[in-house]
Chains A and B, each alone.
Chain A
Amino acid sequence: MKNEGEAAKRPDNTAFTQQRLPAWQPILSAGIVIPSFLLIGLAFIGIGIGLFLTSQTIQVWEMDYTGVEKDSPCFRCTILSNQNCTCEVIFSLSTLFTGPVFFYYGLSNYYQNFRKYGVSKDYYQLAGDTGYFKNPEAYCSPYAYDSKKNPIVPCGAIANSIFNDTFELYQIINGTKKQVPLDGKGISWWTDYNIKYRNPSPVNGSFAKSFDGTVKPINWPKPAYELDLTDPNNNGFLNQDFLVWMRRAALPQFRKLYRRITDGDYAAGLPAGNYSLKVHYNYPVLSFDGRKKVVFSNVSWMGGKNDFLGIAYLVVGSLCVIMSVVMLVVYAKFKFSDDDEAR
Chain B
Amino acid sequence: GLCKKLNSIYCGGDEKRVDSRTIYVGHRPCPDTEAFIPSKFCDNRIVSSKYTVWNFLPKNLFEQFRRIANFYFLIIFLVQVIVDTPTSPVTSGLPLFFVITVTAIKQGYEDWLRHKADNEVNKYPVTVLEDGRSVKKESEKIKVGDVVEVVEDETFPCDLILLQSSREDGTCFVTTASLDGESNHKTHYTVPDTEKDLQALPATIECEQPQPDLYKFVGRMHIYKPEQEPAVRSLGPENLLLKGATLKNTKKISGVTVYTGMETKMALNYQGKSQKRSAVEKSINAFLLVYLCILISKAVVCTTLKYVWQSKEGQDEPWYNQKNQKEKDTNMYLKMFTDFLSFMVLFNFIIPVSMYVTVEMQKFLGSFFITWDKDFFDPEIQEGALVNTSDLNEELGQVEYVFTDKTGTLTQNNMEFIECCIDGFQYKHRDTRSELDGFTVTDGPVNKLQQKAGQEKEELFLRALCLCHTVQVKEAGSEEVLTDQVDGIDGMQPQPEEERGFIASSPDEIALVRGAMEYGFTFLGLESKSMKIKNRENNIEEYKLLHVLNFDPVRRRMSVIVQTKSGETLLFCKGADSSIFPRVKPEEVDRIRMHVERNATEGYRTLCVAYKQLSAEEYAVADTGLREARLALQDREQKLMAMYNQVETGMSLIGATAVEDRLQEEAAETMEALQGAGMKVWVLTGDKMETAKSTCYACRLFQRGTELLELTVRTLEDGRLKREEKLLELLRDYHRRAVQDAPPVKAGVTRSWSTANQDYGFIIDGATLSLVMNPSREADASQYRSLFLQICQNCTAVLCCRMAPLQKAQIVKMVKNSKGSPITLSIGDGANDVSMILEAHVGIGIKGKEGRQAVRNSDYNLCFILPQFLYQFFCGYSQQPLYDAAYLTMYNICFTSMPILAYSLLEQHISMEILLDNAALYREIANNAMLRWRPFLYWTVLGIFQGLLFFFGVRFLFSNPALQDNGQVFGNWSYGTIVFTVLVFTVTLKLALDTRHWTWINHFVIWGSLAFYVFFSFFWGGIIWPFLKQQRLYFVFANMLSSVSAWLVIIILILLSLLPEILLVVLRKPRGPHSRQVYLFLPFPF
Contact = CB atoms under 8 A, between A and B. Distances in A.
A170 interface: no
A254 B969 contact: yes
A216 to B, nearest CB: 16
B875 A111 contact: yes
Contacts of A175: none
Given A21-B999, A157-B322, A316-B1052, A257 B968 contact: yes
Nearest to A158: B320
B288 to A, nearest CB: 27
A335 interface: yes
A301 B966 CA distance: 9
B728 interface: no
Interface residues of B, number: 99
B961 interface: yes
A140 B687 CA distance: 84
Contacts of A1: 124, 153-155
Interface string B963-980: 111111111101110000
A170 B131 CA distance: 118
Contacts of A264: none
A114 B1024 contact: no
Contacts of B368: 17
Contacts of B997: 23, 25
Contact of A19 (B369, B376, B377): B369
B998 interface: yes
A259 to B, nearest CB: 10
A288 B319 contact: yes
B323 interface: yes
A104 B975 CA distance: 19
A339 B878 contact: no
Interface in A157-203: 157, 160-161, 186-189, 191, 195-196
A70 interface: no
Contacts of B112: none
Contact of B324 (A40, A112, A142, A299): A142
Contacts of A186: 966
Nearest to A333: B1071
Interface string A83-100: 000000000000000001
A22 B1031 CA distance: 45
B969 A338 contact: no
Contacts of B321: 111, 114, 116-117, 120, 157, 161
Contact of A343 (B953, B959, B1055, B1078): B1078
A11 B1030 contact: no
Contacts of B374: 10-11, 13, 17-18
Given A23-B999, A255-B969, A338 B1072 contact: yes
A123 interface: yes
Interface in A219-245: 244
Given A316-B1056, A335-B1072, A22 B960 contact: no
A3 B958 contact: no
B496 interface: no
Interface stretch (A26-34, A71-79, A206-214, A272-280): A26-34
A189 B1039 contact: yes
A238 B968 CA distance: 16
Contact of A123 (B1030, B1063, B1079): B1030
Interface stretch (B588-596, B678-686, B1043-1051): B1043-1051
B1066 A33 contact: yes
B875 A114 contact: yes
A284 B299 CA distance: 33
Q: Is the interface of B mostly helix, strand, loop or mixed?
A: loop
Contact of A303 (B963, B1034, B1056, B1063): B963
Interface in A136-172: 137, 141-143, 157, 160-161
Most chain A Cβ neighbours within 10 Å, of B368, B383, B1071: B1071
Contact of B1071 (A21, A300, A338): A338
Contact of B1045 (A3, A141, A302): A302
A308 B1048 CA distance: 11
B200 interface: no
Nearest to A253: B959
B76 to A, nearest CB: 17
Given A21-B999, A113-B875, A142-B322, A250 B382 contact: no
B996 A26 contact: yes
A115 B960 contact: no
B314 A102 contact: no
Given A9-B384, A123-B1031, A252-B874, A306 B960 contact: yes
Nearest to A303: B963
B373 interface: yes
Nearest to B375: A18
A interface, size bucket: 35 or more
A134 interface: no
A123 B1030 CA distance: 6
A19 B1045 contact: no
B815 to A, nearest CB: 32
B1048 A51 contact: yes
Interface string B456-472: 00000000000000000
B961 A161 contact: no
B874 A251 contact: yes
B1069 A29 contact: yes
A313 B957 CA distance: 12
B330 to A, nearest CB: 13
Interface core residue of A20, A115, A252, A339 (most chain B CB under 10 Å): A115
Contact of B964 (A110, A117, A251, A303): A303
B919 interface: no
B958 to A, nearest CB: 5
A101 B1029 CA distance: 37
A316 B1054 CA distance: 12
B384 A10 contact: yes
B275 interface: no
Contact of B1052 (A28, A44, A251, A254): A44
B955 interface: yes
A141 B1049 contact: no
A164 B283 CA distance: 58
A69 interface: no
A306 B954 CA distance: 12
Given A254-B969, A334-B1071, A23 B908 contact: yes
A210 B926 CA distance: 74
Interface in B172-207: none
Given A9-B384, A142-B322, A187-B968, A19 B1034 contact: no
B1074 A342 contact: yes
A271 interface: no
A189 B1039 CA distance: 9
A12 to B, nearest CB: 7
Interface in B349-383: 368-369, 371-377, 382-383
Contacts of A119: 1030
Given A19-B912, A196-B1031, A28 B1069 contact: yes
Contacts of A293: none
Given A9-B382, A142-B323, A299-B964, 7 more contacts: A9-B377, A18-B372, A23-B997, A23-B1002, A137-B1029, A250-B976, A257-B967
25 contacts: A22-B1000, A23-B1002, A24-B998, A28-B1062, A29-B1069, A30-B1071, A114-B321, A114-B876, A115-B875, A120-B321, A123-B1028, A123-B1030, A160-B320, A161-B319, A186-B966, A187-B967, A189-B968, A250-B874, A250-B958, A252-B874, A257-B968, A304-B967, A308-B959, A335-B1072, A342-B1072
Give 10 closest A-B pairs by Cβ, nearest first: A161-B320, A304-B962, A338-B1072, A17-B372, A250-B975, A142-B324, A288-B314, A102-B967, A250-B972, A21-B999
Interface of A: 1-3, 6, 9-13, 17-30, 33, 40, 44, 47, 51, 100, 102, 104, 110-121, 123-124, 127, 137, 141-143, 157, 160-161, 186-189, 191, 195-196, 244, 247-257, 260, 284, 287-289, 297, 299-306, 308-309, 312-313, 316, 319, 323, 327, 331, 334-335, 338-339, 342-343
